[in-house]
């Protein structure tokens, strides 16, 4: 298998961006092997809630600490996390602003289901007033039976895997890069997918278009693949090469619950670079939405182009 280093060299990715991406991967590998694997899920909740009003788990906080710790050592001027009330300053004059969801899938982690991390990288020192289309890289890590990852630097989307020779703390810095391999350097979504991952299924009770759409997928013989974790659910679409993931809003909560900055914008970048589409319930491109406040949410439909476009017609009709 080609190493990620070989891929970056072939694509002429700037050394600064490479360094940041390897640090993020290293944060993911550390969290996966040293924290998550050994975690005591009996002792679950922290005494805090995050800005979205979710009760924080100790593991959410632990994941955040691993990422923030590594980002502080990097050329990063702003660190924005789903688990921080406000973005925090990093190095003054740092080249990048990084936004992330350190642990996606908090509600299923104690059941030992796959979870993940999601990251969006911007140049500059701000995230507010920016659009997802300004991201220079997006990453999603899946912590499952293996540590797999999806990365885009705007030259297509790659899938990769971590193959450690040893535990991370035993390995010299310069050897770390050789442990990240590319399993598919050109993830490509078919225009029509065979799989559907319907988030916020509860909304089907009040939103008739959603109920109708689900029935049509079932009648058409599509396959349900839904775990309750955005990262493994979209990761499944990338690995199988097509499908749709959605998290719609309702009349009461039109923007749903998934966060634009930490979850939707990075995935929209990854999906578009794989030839797919990512839009809101109104049909607006996710990457064109301006971030107005850190924990802003948006409805989202993303994946295979035709699957995504077809739903918009249903909502209107």
Residue with tokens 């890289």: 137
Whether 243 and 225 have beta carbons less than 8 Å apart is answered as yes
Rank residues 231 and 289 by Cβ distance to ligand AHG and give the closer one: 231
Identify whether 40 is a catalytic site residue: no
- 169-208 binders of Mn ion (CB under 5 A): none
* Residue of 60, 125, 233, 272 with catalytic role: 60
229 touches which of Mn ion, ligand AHG, none (CB within 5 to 8 A by kind)?
ligand AHG
Q: How far apart are CA 304 and CA 274, in angstroms?
A: 9
Q: Does 104 bind Mn ion (CB under 5 A)?
A: yes
Identify whether 189 is a catalytic site residue: no
Identify whether 82 is a catalytic site residue: yes
- Nearest-approach distance from CB 13 to Mn ion, in angstroms: 27
Whether 39 and 106 have beta carbons less than 8 Å apart is answered as no
**C-alpha R_g of the chain:** 19
228 touches which of ligand AHG, Mn ion, none (CB within 5 to 8 A by kind)?
ligand AHG
Whether 198 and 234 have beta carbons less than 8 Å apart is answered as no
- 114-153 binders of Mn ion (CB under 5 A): none
Q: In the structure encoding, which two tokens stand for residue 155, read together?
A: 């030259």
Q: Which of 7, 20, 101, 132 binds Mn ion (CB under 5 A)?
A: 101
In Å, how far from its chain's centre is CA 306? 22
Q: Using CB under 5 A, which of the segments 80-88, 107-115, 193-201, 306-314 binds Mn ion? A: 80-88
Q: How far apart are CA 112 and CA 131, in angstroms?
A: 34
Interaction site with ligand AHG (CB under 6 A) = 54, 82, 101, 104-107, 199-200, 228-230, 247, 257
54 touches which of ligand AHG, Mn ion, none (CB within 5 to 8 A by kind)?
ligand AHG
- Nearest-approach distance from CB 270 to ligand AHG, in angstroms: 15
Whether 243 and 274 have beta carbons less than 8 Å apart is answered as no
Q: In the structure encoding, which two tokens stand for residue 255, read together?
A: 């923007």
Comparing C-alpha atoms, which of 138, 146, 112 is closest to residue 39? Answer: 112
Q: Using CB under 5 A, which of the segments 64-72, 74-82, 154-162, 294-302 binds Mn ion? A: 74-82
Which residue minimizes CB distance to ligand AHG?
230
Helix crossing, 15-30 with 58-72: angle to 10°? Answer: 150
In Å, how far from its chain's centre is CA 6? 24
Q: What number of other Cβ atoms are within 10 A of residue 48's Cβ?
A: 13
225 touches which of Mn ion, ligand AHG, none (CB within 5 to 8 A by kind)?
none
* Residue of 70, 104, 139, 158 with catalytic role: 104
Footprint of Mn ion on this chain (CB under 5 A)?
82, 101, 103-104
Catalytically active residues, by annotation: 54, 60, 82-83, 101, 103-104, 263
């Amino acid at each position: 298998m080609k190493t990620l280093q070989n891929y970056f060299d072939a694509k002429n990715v700037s050394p600064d961006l490479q360094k940041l991406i390897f640090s993020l991967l290293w944060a993911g590998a550390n969290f996966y092997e040293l924290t998550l694997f050994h975690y005591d899920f009996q002792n679950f909740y922290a005494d805090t809630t995050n800005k979205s009003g979710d009760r924080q788990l100790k593991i959410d906080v632990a994941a955040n600490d691993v990422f923030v710790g590594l980002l502080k050592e990097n050329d990063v001027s702003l660190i924005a996390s789903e688990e921080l009330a406000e973005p925090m300053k990093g190095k003054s004059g740092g080249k990048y602003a990084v936004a992330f969801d350190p642990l996606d899938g908090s509600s299923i982690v104690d059941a030992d289901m796959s979870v993940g991390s999601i990251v969006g990288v911007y140049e500059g020192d701000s995230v507010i007033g920016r659009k997802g289309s300004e991201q220079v890289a997006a990453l999603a890590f899946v912590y499952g039976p293996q540590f797999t990852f999806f990365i885009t630097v705007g030259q297509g989307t790659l899938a990769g895997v971590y193959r450690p020779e040893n535990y991370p703390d035993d390995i010299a810095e310069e050897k770390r890069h050789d442990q990240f391999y590319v399993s598919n350097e050109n993830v490509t979504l078919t225009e029509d997918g065979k799989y559907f991952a319907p988030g916020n299924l509860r909304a089907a009770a009040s939103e008739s278009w959603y109920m109708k759409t689900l029935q049509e997928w079932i009648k058409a013989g599509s396959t349900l693949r839904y775990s309750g974790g955005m990262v493994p659910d979209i990761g499944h679409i990338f690995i199988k090469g097509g499908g749709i993931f959605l998290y719609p809003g309702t009349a009461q909560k039109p923007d749903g619950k998934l966060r634009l900055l930490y979850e939707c914008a990075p995935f929209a970048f990854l999906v578009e670079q794989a030839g797919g589409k990512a839009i809101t319930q109104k049909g607006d491109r996710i990457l064109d939405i301006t971030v107005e406040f850190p924990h802003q949410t948006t409805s989202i439909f993303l994946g295979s182009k035709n699957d995504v476009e077809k739903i918009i017609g249903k909502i209107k009709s």
